[in-house]
Each structure stands twice: as C-alpha cells, then as structure tokens.
Structure 1
Amino acid sequence: MLFVLYVILVLLALLNVLQWVTRRKRTEQLSYIIDKLHAIMDASSQEQLLLFTEDAEYRKLLIAINRLLEQNRQSEADFARTELAMRKMLANISHDLKTPLTVVLGTIETMNRQPDLPKQERERLVSNVHAKAIEIVELINRFFDLSKLESGDKELPLTRIHMNEICRKNILAYYDLIESEGLSANIDIPDAPLYAWGNVEAIDRVLNNVLSNAIRYGAGGRVIGMKLYEAKDRILIDIWDKGKGIDEREQALIFERMYTLEDSRNKSFQGSGLGLTITKRLVELMDGEIRVESKPNERTVFTIALKRLS
C-alpha cells in the first residue's frame, strides 16, 4: 500500500515538473514571439515570424500573425503608392491650372496697360480670357467628379440600354471632327439590337472620353474604329486606332489618377490625366470593365465590357 502511495507521489511530482517545463517553454516561446514581432514592426522588415514548435496552437498563432504582417505590409505599400499619386496629382493640378491662369492674367494685364486697344483686338483678347476661364472651370469640375466617384458619393441608376443607338449617337457626334482631321471611320455596329445594363449618361461620358483620346493620340494612323458586339454574358465595345500606340509599361498605368502619356504635356497633347481614370470608375460603377491592348503604330484598342441583357 505504501509502495503504491509512493509511486503516486512520484508520478504527481513528475507531472508537476513536466507542467513546469511546459509552462516555461511556452513562456520562452511567447516572449520570443513578442520580441521578434516588435523587432519586425520597428524595422519595417519583410521577415516572417518563424518558430520551430510541435504545439499546434502556436503554429496556428504564427500563421495568423504572419498573415497580419503581410496585410500590414500591403497596407503600407498601398499608402505609399497613394501618397506618391497624391503628390503627383497635386503637381499636375498645379501645372494644369497654372497654364490657363497665366494666360488669363497676362491677357488682362495687357488690356489694362493698353486701354486704347482697337475694339477688334480687345474683343479677341476678351474671347481668349473667356475660353481659358471655361477651361479652368471644366478642369475643376473633373477634379470634383473624380472625388465624388472615388468617395462613393455619386450614385448611378442602372437600367436597360439600347447599345446600338448610343454607339451610333456618340460616333456621329465626332464625325465632323474625324472628317476635318482627314481620318477615315471604320464603324461596325450590327443591325440586331444589343442591350446592356448601364447608365446612359455614364456610357455617353465613357465613349466620349475614349473616342476623344483615340482621335487625339491615334490620328497619325489616319483611321478610327468602333465595333459593337456580344460575347457570352457581355456586351463589348472596341474603340481602336492605328496611331503611335501605348507601350507595355504605360498600358498598366494609364487608368491611374493623374497619369498622362509622355507626350501629353506638350502643346499638341494637353490633358489633365483624369479622363481615363474617371472612365474606369464609371465603367466599374456599372459592373463593367475596361482594358487596353496596344501594338504601337499597328493597333491600339480600348475594350469596354458591360453586362448583357436579353
């Protein structure tokens, strides 16, 4: 009987020792995790938290912590990109506003210094000031539009849209400009009606932005094209040209806020860098997508895809 009691006491003692060793090991591992986590965060390191353990719960904890670290790194990278984009946007806003404002102020100064200007010359200068003032207002409106789209304040009521009619209307609106630029138009709009889920005002603006870009940047190819067609559950619109195109690096950037092609800061290709960003946001609000493919001097095509309705 005493032997059995002795064995029980020994086993209890061993159990206590084992529990103490286990607690100590867990405490050491937990301290290591805490110290290592602080070190990774303080150094903004790309390391992961590694610990060799047979404890299943600790392994789960490490997986969860590493996921949080990765999400934190992604958030920091996103913030850095956003901050860089905001700085570039402010620089471009300053540039785009400064140019017409300089013209306005210069013209007004000329008129003030020369009060005896001939009537015809004064009217010409006033007309220039008016045109530049409209340009400034339109630019500010685009900034506000983008702000509303990105903040979610702008709602688009969606309905069934007859895409054949809306495509014809938009390409016809540019027909005089296409002819005056000496371009040919290749239009492929089927007779059979195609319907999409969208917003008329938004689609008009999307097509207007893409068509104006095709004419501005693709006029060197001497042809502008539009094709309307369906594929599975989508209605697709291709707007294409055979101009100088967009190189592969820029194709991934042209929909970003305030991004402009290298030529867009010279006198021939002025732009705010907002048109395609607004276009992309509008398409996304209609549950659609827009993409671009380009082979410089061969073919550049913007494809707008919207949900097809029967």
Structure 2
Amino acid sequence: MKIALIQHAFKTTREETCSYILQKIKEAAKQSELVVLQELHNTHYFCQNENTQNFDFACYFDEDITFYSQIAKENQVVLVTSLFERRAAGLYHNTAVVFEKDGSIAGKYRKMHIPDDPNFYEKFYFTPGDIGFNPISTSVGKLGVLVCWDQWYPEAARIMALKGAEILIYPTAIGWFNEDPEDEKQRQRDAWIAVQRGHAVANGIPVVAVNRVGFEKDDSAQSNGILFWGSSFVFGPQGELIVQAGTDKEEILYADLNKKNSEEVRRIWPFLRDRRIEEYAEILKRYCD
C-alpha cells in the first residue's frame, strides 16, 4: 500500500486552499495509491470561536463531494478527505469521506469524540457521529478512518481493529498555544505521538496521522491563536516509526506499507487472542465508582 500524507497550512481563502490541495494531490498521486488529507482541510480552523456564521462553511458539502470525487477519479487514487457536513438545519458533522479510484464514495465516518476546550469549541459546531466505528472497504484495503480527538481513545482504535481495519487513519488539527511554556508544548506533542503509537502496537496495524501546520488566529476575543505543530507520521504495526514530518513546514510524506507485516506481528504478539472479553463489561460504565 503506497500512501501519501499532505501536510499544509491554510492559504488565506477557501478557494486558494482548495487549489493548493488539488495540485498536491496531483503530485502525490504520481507515487501513491492512497492520499490522506488533514482535518477540515478546506478552511481555516474555525472552531477557535463560537460564531453561527461559520456554519455556512458546511453548505459547501455537496460541492466538496463533487470536487474531490473528480480529483480521485482523474488521479486514480483512493482519497481520504475531511469535510464539514450539513445534514439538516441545525445538524452538522465533522465527516471524513473516502473516495474510490473511480470517484465513487467508498464510505464515510462522522467524528464521534467531540472536544470542547479553549480554542477548540467543536461541540458548538459538531453533533457526535451516529454511524459507528466501521472500516471502509477500498481497493487498497480496509481503512479504519477516525478523526483528530478520536486519537486519544483506545476504544475507537480497538473496535476498528476488531472489525478488520488494516490501517488506522487520523486526519488532525492540533497545535500549541503561544502562552504555554516550551516544556509543556513538548509534553503535549510527545503525548499525542505516544498514544497513537500505542494504538499501532496494541492492535498490530499501522497508524497514520496527518496534521496541519502554521499559525491561525481567529478574529475573536475567544482566541489567541493556535500554532499547528504538523509532525504528521506513519507508524508500523510494532510501533516502529516509518516516516514523520517536521513541525513548521508543508510536506508530502510518502510511505510504502506491506500489509503482510501485520499478519506476522500478530502471530508473535497475539493480543487479540488473549483478550479476556468476559471481564470487560465495566468498560461500558462512565466511571467505576
């Protein structure tokens, strides 16, 4: 499976950004059969404030479907996008849509875990997904597509693996606040990498995350801006680092994954075999008081 991750910054306008993404997909398609884009890649990260006008971005959803369908078809790639979906008036989702090489929709995933933190006011915009954790079957394999905040939940990764996902994919938007000290910034980035590396090891499958870069500040008193830390990566099924981007520049990352490696890893580390499923009922509780 030859894959490409496109890590980039927002380009002032939606139109300029989409044009940039188009050119990068064309470039990536020359060396890959699966291309992954970052979270909410068409626009700035608008969740830095609570503004009802930002819901207008979701009105492009059908247009985006047509746009990326054509790109996937013209470039003969499986394409993982991250779009703002208007499902109905007052009902919106943070939705990953996967396109097959012929431009058809292979499947979609609606983000399940929705944060609500300073500068990440996503609960204002997104309804939690209601179509479950289901791998998307494509011509390059079964893709366990999740989105950003889902990265921190081993339950999501495990269910995808139990349903046959051959790779975990996380479109992402995460970064630093300038007011945080440098050592805290490093701890946050290290934790972000470590938890996802753990998903690769625990499930014996590769993990891919693609994050945006650059500083974005919303015109709102709610936000002091976010410096997105990039660092997009691919880990193999034993948690081995295959490739990683820098923190401050736009890049296309390439990796060639041999899906047979997961079979070999799971034979020597049979974590799924040794799960004590009869003892896990308490995981369904909010907290074990």
Does TM, scored on the shorter chain, surpass 0.5? no
Shorter chain as normaliser: what TM range?
Answer: under 0.3
Q: Which has the higher helix share?
A: 1
Tell me which of the two structures has the higher relative contact order, counting C-alpha pairs closer than 8 angstroms and 6 or more residues apart: 2
Q: Which has the higher strand share?
A: 2
Larger radius of gyration: 1
TM-score for both structures, normalised by structure 2? 0.22
TM-score for both structures, normalised by structure 1? 0.21
